[in-house]
Structure 1
Amino acid sequence: MDDDSQFSQYLSELDSPNTEGYTFFTKNETDGYSLEIYRKYEEASGLYKYKSYGELKSIDTETVNAVYNDLEYRKKWDAYCADLHVISETSVLQNIYWRVAYPWPMSHRDYVFSRKSKIFEATENSPKRWCIIGKGDPSSCHEEVKGVIRVKDYEQTLALQPSKNGLGTKVFLYYFDNPGGALPTWVVNWAAKTGVPQFMKTLQSACEKFTSK
């Protein structure tokens, strides 16, 4: 699948969710955001792939995109982000190093992944939209850190567009993470159930502080 087809596939989820093969997992609703999560079991790993559909009700899409892509700012608002920086980049692709501080007594994890982004300008039939695709790079030769587990099987895609009322942002998030190590699968799956809503809540707060800077 070429890049344009990938972007179009994810963007289509904003208006026409495709949950075939997925089952409903959980739903969250607050004054600031709404979120529905679906999951699909992957037999090889014993873990799930996730699709999340939501809305940040009062944050404009330009701000959400800016906050999500600002790596330096994320180190301030994400309490689990121990390190995050660009290894290399071109006009269309970033290679990124990300280290996540797992709660004690679990080992920290780190990721080396590629990320590509595209903006689709508004047309007569659709609003301006954004899509950011991230995928782990298991072939990376970036030096591993002693005591930190390298996560090689990782995917995260975010698609954004303005809400119909123009005040907020519709969000689609696709996510898969195999953290490796000795973590029981139930721990990983429990973390997904609590972690994605917590991410939305924290992202909302980071966007509010970003606009007030």
Structure 2
Amino acid sequence: MRFPPKVPHPYISSVMFPPAVPNPDVVLYTQKEMDVLVEESHNALCPVVAHCATNRAVKMAAEAGADTIEHAFWCDQETLTFVKKNNCILVPTLAISERLYGDNFKYMLKKTLKAWEMDIVQACGGDTGTFNHGENIREAELFYEAGIPIEHVLRSLTYHGWLACGDHRCGRKFGVLMKDFAADLVALDNDPRVDIKALRNVDFVMKDGKVYKENGVCVA
């Protein structure tokens, strides 16, 4: 059996002086390009989601009119003001940030609380898929650990999720118990307003009116 030759490390073989940050966060579009992307999307009644890691990217996306901004890890006060001014929804993806940024993660919790204090709409979206499915409730726990009251955390889990998906533009109503909204329900064993850990003990699940879990047992 013949094996392919061992390939040297690319930095050693091709870059004599590699950059300190080999994969930096850079903005991929100009402001004009972002403006046109958002304008065309909104003209087609489509919501716009912007994945932004830097303050500059968040400001540009907010200025363009993006509906939601995901990640926004390092938002400072000025950037949050841009988000608020342009009525953007913030999806901070804390669950994955906790795994990536170590001691720096404390800043992201403070930023999330500050956004809530500024009355910026935030939705719980943990970047599911970058960690095991079923662990996404960690996002809500981190909202709570940031200092956001549990009632507001629950709203970020439900109704704000619908807003983040484009509200009526997504073609589906969900997130609240109302007529003409999807029958998507979960029931817990205990009251999360007393103990947030209750969110990890789901007793009942209904999706589109079909029961998938009852008395803690999968039935579908």
Please give the TM-score of this superposition, normalised by the length of structure 2.
0.25
Rg larger for:
2
Greater helix proportion = 2
Greater strand proportion = 1
**Higher RCO by CA contacts (8 Å cutoff, separation 6 or greater):** 1
Please give the TM-score of this superposition, normalised by the length of structure 1.
0.26
